[in-house]
Amino acid sequence: MEYPVRKLNELVTFRREVASCHKATIYDYISTENMLSDRGGVVEATNVPAKGKVKIFNKGDILISNIRPYFKKILKAKFDGYCSSDVLVLTPVSLSDEDYLYGVLSADTFFDYVTKTSKGTKMPRGDIDAIRNYSVPWPDHEMRTFIGEVYSTIDKKLDANKLINKNLLDLARRLFDQEYQKARKVVPFTDLIQINGGGTPKTGVKDYWGGSIPFFTPKDVGDPITLETEKYITEPGLAKCNSRLYPKGTTFVTARGTVGKLGLAGVPMAVNQSCYALTSEIIPSSLIYFFAEKTVKSLRKKANGVVFNAIVMRDFNSERVKEIKPTVLSKLSEVIRPLIDIMIINEEENIQLANIRDSLLPKLLSGEIKLS
């Protein structure tokens, strides 16, 4: 059973209102850089534009990254804020269809269409006219409400797990800070933590790609846990790149692209040359992340308005941190490690829920599953 269709342009308003970039903060600014791929939502921005205009959005609006649509970056705004010009801001005409339309525009069918009709090769952008004319399946109001409720219920559970993880990370950070503030001795960051580079296998060798080893790049930074990556490599690929297989719990920091973002590996993975992997024989892996947070914050402060476009080895060499006594580190790790383990479990559940959501949605929109 196929439902009748309506053009997207009839169902939403494509917003274009702008404001000065100086109104935006890292807490209410959204760009294609801090939107997560595969419908993963958004993380806090690392910076805001220093000049020009930004677009305005309101709570409930649907935001879609219009660059490289195959990354499937979409979210439903949970606050009023500002976004870059490369983000589409759609306001549903009918409030009652808000969740349904968010579900429709999150489906692979929509992103496949936008990718197919996009313009450009290196940095493809969605064609606005084609997007406006997208055919939206339009069942009766009862079915639209049902589909919207299914989608939003799963989304709320995903958000609940994300909030739990945020609170667990905040708790771990506070516990770390309590002991860090008590420490007196200051040492070079690299006396405690080793900075390891990464590398990429030759992209032209097929035998190196499509394996089972996650390959972490700046695009894969989680919030902060990463369990899945955009690309995977094989054992031969790992052997031919300048990265080893880093264990679960390794802290990664992005050195180029979106600079200074921190991630935690939820499973063993390799890393590309745009990131550093932080390891230590002194600091427990569960605590390296928090030492790294302080160091990156210091580097940002030193930039003092200058574009923070790269981190190199000598940046870490110049940084100093407090040295916490080994006995305290051990006890602190015993408390914080279980918190990180719970965060990983929550992230695993979110992947399962997202897979259920994304497999259900096409069946609901096609009429394969319907109300009796």
Identify the CATH number of the domain in which residue 205 sits. 3.90.220.20
**12 lies in the same domain as 131:** yes
Per-residue pLDDT at 305: 53
**Tokens 């299914």, located at residue:** 150
176, part of any domain = no
Residue 306: predicted pLDDT: 55
Q: Please report which confidence band the pLDDT of residue 52 belongs to, taking 50, 70 and 90 as the band edges.
A: very high
The answer to whether residue 241 scores a pLDDT higher than 60 is yes
CA–CA gap between residue 138 and residue 104 (Å, rounded): 10
- Please indicate, yes or no, whether residues 207 and 318 belong to a single structural domain of this protein: yes
Cα 70 to chain centroid, rounded = 15
Cβ–Cβ contacts within 10 Å for residue 287, how many?
A: 26
Whether residue 179 lies inside any domain: the answer is no
Residue-level pLDDT at 58: 97
Confidence band, pLDDT 50/70/90 cuts, at residue 370? confident
Average pLDDT taken over every residue of the chain? 94
In this prediction, residue 122 has a pLDDT band, given cuts at 50, 70 and 90, of confident
pTM for the full predicted model: 0.85
Whether residue 210 is found in the same domain as residue 293: yes
Q: Taking a C-beta distance cutoff of 8 angstroms, is the pair 269, 246 a contact?
A: yes
Q: Is residue 175 part of a domain?
A: no
Instruction: Indicate the length of the chain as a whole number.
Output: 372
Looking at this protein, which amino acid is placed at residue 192? L
* 232 in a structural domain: yes
Q: What is the total count of domains within the chain?
A: 3
DSSP secondary-structure letter at 53?
Answer: E
pLDDT at 372 over 80: no
Structure tokens at 43: 């993380």
At 251 the pLDDT is 98
More confident residue, 308 or 199: 199
> Once rounded to an integer, what is the mean pLDDT over residues 339-353?
97
Range of the domain at 252: 184-323
Confidence of residue 256 (pLDDT cuts 50, 70, 90): confident
Shared domain for 194 and 160, answered yes or no, is no
Q: Read out DSSP for 293-324?
A: HHHHHHHHHHHTTS------HHHHHT-EEEPP
Residue 277 has pLDDT above 90, yes or no: yes
Specify whether 27 is located in the same domain as 73. yes
Q: Considering the domain boundaries, does residue 218 fall inside one?
A: yes
Does residue 304 belong to any structural domain of this protein?
A: yes
pLDDT of residue 178: 97
Residues 95 and 46 in one domain: yes
Q: Is the pLDDT of residue 263 over 70?
A: yes
Average pLDDT over residues 227-237: 96
Nearest residue to 258 via CA among 33, 98, 101: 33
| Residue 78 pLDDT level (bands cut at 50, 70, 90) | very high
Q: Nearest-CA neighbor of 117 among 104, 127, 129?
A: 127
User: Residue 185: its pLDDT value, please?
Assistant: 96
Residue type, 83: C
Give SS3 for 316.
helix
Indicate whether 46 and 84 sit together in one domain.
yes
**Poorest-pLDDT segment among 210-214, 343-347, 357-361:** 357-361
266 and 342 inside one domain? no
pLDDT surpasses 70 at 1 = no
Residue whose tokens read 């009709």: 117
With cut-offs at 50, 70 and 90, classify the pLDDT of residue 172. Answer: very high
Q: What is each CA distance from 169 to 123, 163, 299, 336, 338, in whole angstroms?
A: 35, 10, 22, 9, 11
Cβ pair 214, 229 in contact under 8 A = yes
So what's the pLDDT on residue 92? 97
- pLDDT value of position 307: 57
pLDDT exceeds cutoff 70 at 224: yes
Q: Quick one: 318 and 337 in the same domain?
A: no
Tokens read off for 109:
């069918």
